[in-house]
Amino acid sequence: MELYIDNRQDDVPITEELEQLVAHAIETAVAYEGIEGDVAVSVSFVGDDEIRELNRDYRGVDRTTDVLSFPLEQEFDLPMVNLGDVVINTRRVLEQAAELGHSNAREVTYLTVHSVLHLLGYDHMNEDDKSVMRREEKAIMEQLL
């Protein structure tokens, strides 16, 4: 797997351990979904202001969010599949981890899995799709925890 990390924030230190956690979450999600071969994913860590701008510019939603996914339309049977870009808001990582009573690492893991599922075509725009996506997230997270 090729993982590209871009750190554009100051809220959370992006350590080698955190990068390995993100890589493991991506590998686990991709394997669970049956994607074979090498994959490439770009993961950017950003703050509230930047993710709000991205959300506004690309989704037409002028508010902050925890994670954004930018999938690349591509065939999954190539030797190297570039899945796309994951953008994680580290401010929301800190807030949501505190709200939910778990570690920042667990929150980054969940947001990574959630975003990778979006890169693979899952969505949660209606209740049926949301139910399917949540089931996939839960199964993958159980493998990771």
pLDDT of residue 59: 95
Three-state DSSP at 132 gives helix
Does the annotation flag 102 for ligand binding? no
Domains and CATH numbers, the chain: 2-144 (3.40.390.30)
Does the annotation flag 24 for ligand binding? no
Residue with tokens 């996939």: 136
Percent with pLDDT over 70 in the chain: 96
pLDDT of residue 81: 87
Better-scored residue on pLDDT, 40 or 74: 40
pLDDT of residue 75: 66
Instruction: Kindly report, residue by residue over 81-113, the tens digit of the pLDDT.
Output: 899 999 999 999 999 999 999 999 999 999 999
Percent with pLDDT over 90 in the chain: 89
pLDDT of residue 37: 82
pLDDT of residue 36: 82
Does the annotation flag 124 for ligand binding? yes
pLDDT of residue 76: 62
Is residue 73 scored above 80 in pLDDT?
no
Cβ atoms of 89 and 66 within 8 Å: the answer is: yes
The pTM score is 0.95
Is residue 31 scored above 70 in pLDDT?
yes
